[in-house]
Amino acid sequence: MRKVVIVPCSGIGKSYGTVAREGAYRVTQDLRPETTQLVPLSLLVLGDEATRAEVAGAPAITIDGCKLACAMKMVTQSGGTVAQELSVLDVFRRHRDLKPAGIAELNEGGQRLAGALADEVAALVDALAADPQPDGGDEAPGGCHA
């Protein structure tokens, strides 16, 4: 089984970017380590060939911290298939009581928001695993965005 690639925002210096990264770490290290792989956005931006190959060979879930959607754009530009796009702002709208603050270290609200995000990503990983695409990297019927 191919692993699902998780590509979080790199919004260094932004609370929502920190929530994106923290949520991705929780999924890839704690919740679904056997079925996911973390891919740093910075390596895609730099054009790292090995990273581009990883993204091109697996479905990707992108987690963006703002409307610029850098993670989604870079996966697509790197030849990858975005199986699901997530926005930290959308998760925050569903959990308005979890206001993130802090950058190097998130406050309790930010940590809890990262947990809610991680739970949503884990559910998406499970759904992708339940409906596997054939190996070979073919794009899902109807386009790459869910």
Task: Give CA–CA dist 7/62, Å, rounded.
Answer: 5
Asked if CATH classification 3.30.70 holds for the domain at 4-130, the reply, yes or no, is no
For residue 24 the two structure tokens come to 């991705």
Entry pTM = 0.87
- Would you list the domain boundaries of the chain? 4-130
Contact 78, 55 (CB under 8 A): yes
What residue has token string 């590509």?
7
At residue 60, the 3 state secondary structure works out as strand
| DSSP codes of every residue in 6-38 | EEE---TT-HHHHHHHHHHHIIIIIISTTTEEE
Predicted confidence pLDDT, tens digits, the chain (146 residues): 679 999 999 888 899 999 999 999 999 999 999 999 999 999 999 999 999 999 999 999 999 999 999 999 999 999 999 999 999 999 999 999 999 999 889 999 999 999 999 999 999 999 998 875 654 444 433 333 33
Element spanning 63, H or E: strand 59-64
Helix axes 15-25, 108-130, angle to 10 degrees: 50
pLDDT value, residue 139 = 40
